[in-house]
Amino acid sequence: MDLTVNPAGRIAITMDADGVAQVRLSRPDKMNALDPDMFAALIDAARVLHGLKGLRCVVLSGEGRSFCAGLDLTSMANTDRHDRTPLTTRIYGQANMPQQVALQWRKLPVPVIAAVHGVCFGGGLQIASGADFRVVDPTARLAVMEMKWGLVPDMAGYALWRGTVRDDVLRELTYTNREFSGAEAHELGFATIVDPNPVARANAIAAEIANRNPHAQRGAKRLFGDWLHASEAEILMAESVEQQALIGTKNQIEAVMSQMQKRKGNFADV
Report d(CA 122, CA 120) in Å as an integer: 7
- Is residue 82 a contact partner of residue 138, using CB atoms and an 8 Å limit? no
Q: pLDDT tens track of the chain, all 270 residues?
A: 666 555 567 999 999 999 999 999 999 999 999 999 999 999 999 999 998 999 999 999 999 999 999 999 887 666 655 567 889 999 999 999 999 999 999 999 999 999 999 999 999 999 999 999 999 999 999 999 999 999 999 999 999 999 899 999 999 999 999 999 999 999 999 999 999 999 999 999 999 999 999 999 999 999 999 888 899 999 999 999 999 999 999 999 999 999 999 999 999 988
Residue 46 identity: A
Q: How far is CA 14 from CA 2, 48, 100, 140, 159, in A?
A: 4, 11, 22, 25, 29
In sign, the C-alpha dihedral spanning 185, 224, 155, 23 is positive
52 Cβ contact partners less than 8 Å away, ≥ 6 residues apart: 3, 15, 21
Beta strands, E only, the chain: 2-3, 11-15, 20-25, 57-62, 112-116, 119-121, 133-136, 141-143, 180-181, 193-194
- Ordered DSSP codes for 167-200: HHHHHHHHHH---EEHHHHHHHTS-SEE-SSHHH
- Reported CATH class of domain 2-209: alpha beta
**CATH number assigned to the domain with residue range 213-260, chosen from the 4 options 3.40.50.10420, 1.10.12.10, 3.40.640.10, 2.40.37.10:** 1.10.12.10
Q: Count the residues in the chain.
A: 270
Domain range annotation of the chain? 2-209, 213-260
